[in-house]
Every structure is written in C-alpha cells, then in structure tokens.
Structure 1
Amino acid sequence: MTRALADVLAANIHQYIVQTPIAPGTRLPERALAERFHVSRSPVREALKRLAAQAVVAAHPDGGYAVAEAVMPAAAAATRETGDANEQTYLAIAEDRLAGDLPERVTENELMRRYRVTRAQLNAILRRMAQEGWIERRPGHGWMFQPVLTSAETYRQGYRYRLLIESAGILEPTFQLDRAALLRCRAEQEVLANGGVRTASPAVLFDANSRLHETIAACSGNAFIVDGLRRLDRLRRLMEYRKAVDRDQAERRCQEHLTLIDLLLTDQREAAADFLKLHLHNAVREKTSD
C-alpha cells in the first residue's frame, strides 16, 4: 500500500463525513468504508489512523473509530473547500463526456490544462472515476473513457431492465438476507431522509441509493442479477449526475427505501417485491417527466 493511497483515501473519507453529513459519535466500520470506496480494509485502517491524528475521528469504546465529537472547524472548512472544487471538476468532466466534448482517449496533461487543476487534484478525481468504472488507465499512457448511457431512451430502457430483474431477485429461491449490510444501508438512508438529502451532492445520493439496490440484488443469490445491476449502475451514473436533483423527490425516495428495507427485515418478501416495483415505477416517472 502506498502512502499516496492512504492520503487520498483519508481525504475521501473526510469529505464523506463532512458532506453527508455524519453525526459526531457515529461509528465508522472499516468494512463499510472499504465497500464504499472499493478498496480493502488495510488502506481504510491506515486512512483512519491519519484522520485520528487530525482529530477528525476518535477511538470508539467498542473498537475502531467514530466521527470525533468536535471536528476542527478550520480543517473541516478546508476539506469542504477542496472537496467542493474537486466535485465541480468531476461533474464538469462527466458533463463534457456526455456532451461529446471529450474524446474517448485523454491524457492527464490535457485534462489538467482543460480544467485548470493540479496533478494531485486530478489524480484524486481520476482515481474516483476509475473506482466508479467509467474511465480506466491505458497501458503505457493516458486514460480511456468507458461506455455510458447517453440518451433519454437508453436511460428509460435501463429502468425497464431494473423492473424486470430487481423485484424478481427478492423472490429467488436462493434469496438470503444480509441483515448487517442492509442495516448499514438503512442507517445511511435514515441520515438522508432526516435532512441529509438537502445538502448531499448528486454523487453522494447516487452512491447511497445504488449501494442499497445492489445490496438487495446481492441477497438474491443470483450472480447474473447482481452483476447485471452493477453494470447498469456504472453505465447510468453520468446520466444521473446530469439531471437536476429535485430534493423533495429525492427525500421521498429515501423514505421509500426505508419502507422497503423494513419489509425485508421483517421477512415480508412478496410485499417487498411489489413495493420495489412501485418504487421503480415512481422513480422513472419522476426522472423522465421533463
């Protein structure tokens, strides 16, 4: 593990704490952070040590770390400022890619000149994009964008595909509830539903919501269902960023997520499958009405 990886990951975790926001005292499980940032637990552990040294997190009585009771205001403001700048650049790249203003292959120097960012800033953004699956490093030199959904019709087709597979996954004979993973998703959705959705970035909203749907798909025990949904989520990510966020609709979808989770936790699978269909129908109607 490189020092650079731990530094970037620490910055990403700090940004996640500030932007979500996560209440002081909330525990930060290594496994959940590893899943969120698509890394192993070892770099997460090292990143948390760095954040502990900065008083961003503190040791939890039951082990591991929790959000510190008082994150230093200056450090939090600096992190938010850097995170906001990186987020704006990230979204600008996404928009330019969707608009066809960026070629399939690009170099770091080209991107630095175009978006007026430092190499360190660009490296953090490229790492995030690569983790999300819409760009990858070319052997030897440069980067290559991966295919994404680019039209309203393919976007609608994606939702119709989800209607076919997601509710069916809940009714699979191999379905086995991952209660711990679902409870982590519930905690995240509860934060959003209780006001977090009003300030969360489009990327934070997409990640939280896709993580819940993929967690439920993984419970199906059907590798084709979960793999299909993950591939689709990579393809539709940029289309979601392009759409203006209706905060009222987003909050309502988070409330629906809580209902869906509670149906699953109480073993009401048929009701959950029906509710998921309704939820997806509502989402596609709201998002394609413009």
Structure 2
Amino acid sequence: MSVSHPIAAKIIALIQQERMPVGTHLGAQKLADRLQVSRSPVNEALKAMLESGIVTRAENRGYFLAVDLSDSALDAELMAQLSGQDVLEQVYFDIADDLLRGDLPLQCTESLLRSRYKLTGAQLQILLARIANEGWAARTPGYGWAFSSMITTPDSLLQSYRLRLALEPAALLEPGFSISQATIDRCRAAEMHLLEGGIETDTADQLHDRGVRFHESLIEASGNPFFIETIQRVNKVRRLLSYRSMRNRVRYLEHCEQHLEILALLERGENEQASNALRRHLQSTLKNLGNIRTLLSARNAQEADQA
C-alpha cells in the first residue's frame, strides 16, 4: 500500500484512536468535523486512500475502511510514507511562494515541476490534483500545467474579499437562516483550540482550513444554495493568496475573538447584530492585505521588466 496526502495520516490516526473495524463507513463531512478542516482535503485524502487500497468506495454510499489499521497490523512501509507527509505539504507552499514571487512560470511541464521540487511522479500527481481541485491550476494538452494568472494579481485578491464582504453578512439575514447548536459548539471549540495554543502550533494549512470552515458553516446555515456555491468557489482559490499572511499570527488572536462574538450573537438569535459583526470582521481583514498586495505588485513589475 502507498498513500501520500497531508490529511490521510490524520484520518488513519483517528481510525486507530477510535479502533474502527474493517467495513466502517468513513463519511467525509463527519471526518472534516472531527479534524476541523473543510470537506475538500478530506475527499482528496479518501481518494488517495482508495488508490492505496486502504478504503473501498460504494456507488452513492461513500467510502468504507477496507483494511485493519490497528498498530499491530499497519504496514511498516505505509507508516514510513505517512511520516513523510510534511514533504508534500512543504512543496505545496513552495509552489505557491514561487508563483507569487514570479520565480515559477505560469505555464510549465510536469517534468520541470518534478525536477524543481524533487518529487516522484506519483507525488507530483497527488500534489497537482490537490491544486487543480482548489482551482488555481489546470492541465494543458500533453504534460503541461497552467496556473491561474487571475489569482496572482493584486486586484483579484481585493475583489475576492469585497465579494465576501457583500455576500457573507447578507447570508446571516436570509429568511431561511438556521444554525444548529452543534455547529455553533463545533465552531467555538475550534476557536478555543487556537486561543489555547493552536495559533502558534497549527500549520498554515490548518489555520486556513479552520477559517474556511467557520465562514462556510455560517453560509451553509443560510439555506441559500447560491450563497453557498459562490463562497465555496471563492474559498477554493483564495488559499494561494491568503496563506502568506499567516506568517504574522498575532492577528489571529483578534480573529478568534471576532469569531466568538459572532457565534455568541447567533446563539442568542441576534442575527442583525451578528451580520454587522461579520461585516466589521471582514473589513478589518481587508485592511491587513497590504503586504500581499505589495508582493503581487512586485511580481507584476518583474513580469513587465521581462516582457
């Protein structure tokens, strides 16, 4: 068996912790909730586990555990591969860094990527599948890939946040808005985890997924599929733009406090006040985008010099 995905190791650890027997149904949303990430990386991990034979998939039923993953039964080779998950995670961010700096062309071959980042063919395919699923790369004829130029421009970054500023507060005022206590409790627990040390210890990917899950949970509660689909599409592509700001983690203390305020207002049914609080939260985020805008402007200037 072989599997290379940053979330797969966490899913396997959870399976071991819960002592799940062969045949257990592995629901993507349930796993996402337990791991405090969005469904997208969980689905990608399950696909990687399917290719490795760890899980099976039944049409219209989902994924099921196919092998015994108890400590005594777990394949030593698989464990060795799982211990190297940080390699692919680091390369993911290296590619994003290189794109944002202009060090990687927006169109390149798989051979170039494999050589530049010292990946095996299988590792590269898993990495590119993740990036394509997030919406910032697409395959070109042959063995080439094209990265989106839209999300490496300053205006696109600001426009994506202005779109969220227009839609997200409005979603809390939808007539069909209904958020469960379980959702509020899950979101609050995620914020408390950060306040209790997670701000310093979580990876940039975990911080991003926590934020995405918070905001998508509120949008999903609106019951409006148009709101949900739009925000999910924006969230897929904004990872590349937003994660760089995570290097300054001081602001996450303020973010957590703002998120907790919004949850408390929703818990009391004060949706209008919660909508206003969410608007202030997004406006404060917009003010902190100067560094990323400067970085993206630098790339544009570099490309103009090379033209």
TM-score, normalised relative to structure 1: 0.73
2:172 maps to which residue?
Answer: 170
Query: Given the alignment of the two structures, is residue 12 of structure 1 paired with residue 2 of structure 2, yes or no?
Result: no
Which secondary structure does the structure 2 equivalent of 1:173 belong to? coil
- Structure 1 segment 198-217 matched on structure 2, within 5 A: 198-217=200-219
Deviation at 1:30, TM superposition (A): 4.7
Partners of 2:268 and 2:224 lie apart in 1 by 21
Q: What are structure 2's unaligned runs of at least 5 residues?
A: 21-25, 33-38, 56-62, 73-78, 293-307
Partners of 1:88 and 1:99 lie apart in 2 by 16
The answer as to whether partners of 1:31 and 1:41 remain within 8 angstroms in 2 is no
- Structure 1 segment 128-277 matched on structure 2, within 5 A: 128-138=130-140, 141-243=143-245, 245-277=247-279
Match of residue 41, structure 2, among 27, 37, 43: 37
2:69 maps to which residue?
Answer: 53
Instruction: State the Cα deviation string for residues 129-185 of structure 1 (Å, max 9, x = none).
Output: 133222234466443324542233432333222221111110111222254444433
Which secondary structure does the structure 1 equivalent of 2:152 belong to? coil
CA distance change for structure 1 residues 138 and 250 in 2, over 3 Å: closer, same or farther?
same
The answer as to whether partners of 1:263 and 1:272 remain within 8 angstroms in 2 is yes
Partners of 1:255 and 1:289 lie apart in 2 by 23
The answer as to whether partners of 1:171 and 1:270 remain within 8 angstroms in 2 is yes
TM-score, normalised relative to structure 2: 0.70
1:67 maps to which residue?
Answer: none
Deviation at 1:94, TM superposition (A): 1.0
Which secondary structure does the structure 2 equivalent of 1:102 belong to? coil
Which secondary structure does the structure 1 equivalent of 2:43 belong to? coil
Which secondary structure does the structure 2 equivalent of 1:136 belong to? strand
CA distance change for structure 1 residues 242 and 51 in 2, over 3 Å: closer, same or farther?
farther
Which secondary structure does the structure 1 equivalent of 2:146 belong to? strand
The aligned amino acid for 1:173 is P
CA distance change for structure 1 residues 210 and 118 in 2, over 3 Å: closer, same or farther?
same
CA distance change for structure 1 residues 211 and 266 in 2, over 3 Å: closer, same or farther?
same
Partners of 2:250 and 2:244 lie apart in 1 by 18
Once superposed, which parts of structure 1, at least 4 consecutive aligned residues long, lie more than 6 Å away? Answer: none
The aligned amino acid for 1:207 is D
Partners of 1:255 and 1:161 lie apart in 2 by 23
Deviation at 1:253, TM superposition (A): 0.8
Partners of 1:199 and 1:16 lie apart in 2 by 19
The answer as to whether partners of 2:169 and 2:279 remain within 8 angstroms in 1 is yes
Instruction: State the Cα deviation string for residues 180-230 of structure 1 (Å, max 9, x = none).
Output: 444433333332222112122222211110121122112222233222222
Which secondary structure does the structure 1 equivalent of 2:138 belong to? strand
Partners of 1:241 and 1:41 lie apart in 2 by 21
CA distance change for structure 1 residues 49 and 192 in 2, over 3 Å: closer, same or farther?
farther
Task: Give the aligned length.
Answer: 263
2:304 maps to which residue?
Answer: none
CA distance change for structure 1 residues 48 and 260 in 2, over 3 Å: closer, same or farther?
farther
Deviation at 1:54, TM superposition (A): 5.0
CA distance change for structure 1 residues 54 and 12 in 2, over 3 Å: closer, same or farther?
farther
1:59 maps to which residue?
Answer: none
